[in-house]
Amino acid sequence: MVLYFDEETQNDFCRQIEKYVEKWGVRYMDAVIAICETKVIPVEGVAKVLSKPIIEKIKEEGENLNFLPKTTKLPI
């Protein structure tokens, strides 16, 4: 399922995720699921509306939990 969010709605959704993580101290992937359940939005459709920083944080969480293979990082 493809969701359509205009830019303002997309930004609001991402801000809600950030606030949820900050307030409840949960992982980003858990925050996305919780907000989707609250708003009755299918989780499968939100990947395209998430901001790049949130996607990176979810990817990092997945790697740390061994849900995803670890990627090589440059020592900076």
pLDDT, tens only, 28-75: 999 999 999 998 989 988 988 999 999 999 999 999 999 888 887 766
- For 14-52, give one letter per residue: b (16+ CB within 10 A) or e: bebbeebbeeeeebbbebbeebbeeeebeeeebeebbee
Answering whether pTM is above 0.85, one says: no
